[in-house]
Structure 1
């Protein structure tokens, strides 16, 4: 199964209601067109970070590498913005989850499964002992696992995370190469 990539520049278990999705999506389109938006064209700002959704299907490692390469190509805006690179998105709040889901919705018109930057580097014998990290190095301080996750899928290695499972903000673990 191919995954889609959500990018984060500079560095959830609820479905958005139709009204909320429309409001957030409308605000995003309006702000993206605003000349004061410090993000590059085609990117969306949330707080101090910029996000972009890329429709090309990739494995998790290839998606992360694509983000890093894209980040190297960004040019700073003189006396305004210095870009610090790019990674798959890290998620630090429910509001940020809603924002990211809205970015995906206005880019694709739907809620496809989407890679984010969460991964575990340690294969623990007990699921609750696993440690999760964000690929941008930020603290893993927000969780929104789908019901029954993380579950290690009957002992199979599932070291990475995607969201939009069933149109929700839920995190689901998958194998790197799916």
Structure 2
């Protein structure tokens, strides 16, 4: 492991430790600690463009404009086309709604949303049911960036196709868990 990798690893571990403490404390304290986390992250060697937040080798940003899931995904793809490599360490081949691959990454994304909005609004992420089946066992979830759907933290009773409606999209910040939802929820 190089010196830079060790520094980034330690910075990430420190960030996650502070983030865990932030979510353990109350809202007022959480907002203050989240703001400190932004300052801390900005001080690190961040290969992400201005306004984006780095977690491991990926960059994230929160867009406040409400959109449907397909429109939000398309917006992310358009943003990705405008990005250029920074420091030649991260390749920007495009962007998608966020995929979540660990508890730590989920906590990090919640902090990004909190830092950007000052609260925890329901937020689209890139999870999508490819089959859109009515029966849960027949559903096939994937991430819009093509990565493996390898981390699940569903809210109690989710995914559920509420009242028989097909809910093929995922949002989070529902108590830190995932929830399936209809496509036209945020029009």
TM-score by length of 1: 0.80
Give the drift of 1:121.
1.2
More helix by share: 2
What secondary structure is seen at the aligned counterpart in 2 of 1:68?
helix
SS in 2 for 1:146: coil
Structure ranking higher on relative contact order (CA contacts 8 Å, 6+ apart): 1
Q: 1:169 aligns with which of 159, 178, 182?
A: 178
Give the match's secondary structure for 2:131: coil
Q: Cα distance 1:44–1:16, how it changes in 2: closer, same or farther (>3 A)? A: farther
Query: 1:46 deviation in Å?
Result: 0.6
The alpha-carbon distance between structure 1 residues 118 and 45, as it changes in their structure 2 partners (threshold 3 A), is: same
CA distance in 2 between partners of 1:64 and 1:138 (Å): 15
Q: Does 1:101 align with 2:110?
A: yes
In the TM superposition, what is the alpha-carbon distance from 1:23 to its structure 2 partner? 7.8
Q: CA RMSD in A?
A: 7.3
How does the TM-score come out when normalised to structure 2? 0.77
Distance 1:28 1:9, change over 3 A: closer
User: Matches of 2:72 and 2:39 in 1, distance apart?
Assistant: 28
Q: Which runs of 5+ in 2 are unaligned?
A: 1-9
Residues 1:47 and 1:27: Cα distance change in structure 2 (over 3 Å): farther
Q: After TM superposition, give the deviation of residue 27 of structure 1 in Å.
A: 5.3
Structure 1 portions without partners, runs of 5+ = none
Give the secondary-structure state (helix, strand or coil) at the position aligned to 1:161: strand
CA distance in 2, matches of 1:58, 1:144: 23
Cα distance in 1 between the residues matched to 2:27 and 2:18:
28
Question: Secondary structure of the equivalent of 1:141?
Answer: coil
Check whether the contact 1:90–1:116 (CA below 8 A) recurs between aligned residues.
yes
Post-superposition CA distance 1:95-145 (Å, at most 9, x none):
111110011001100011100000001032421221100000000011111
Residues 127, 141 of structure 2: 8 Å contact kept = yes
Q: Per-residue displacement from partner, 1:138-166 (whole Å, max 9, x unpaired)?
A: 00011111111111112211110001125
- Higher mean C-alpha displacement, 77-86 vs 16-25: 16-25
Q: Count residues with an aligned counterpart.
A: 178
For the 8 Å contact 1:14–1:170, the answer to whether it is kept is no
More strand by share: 1
Distance in 1 (CA, whole Å) between partners of 2:121 and 2:132 is: 28
- Note closer, same or farther for the CA distance 1:50–1:115 as it changes in structure 2 (3 Å cut): same
* Native 8 Å contact 2:127 2:143 kept in 1: yes
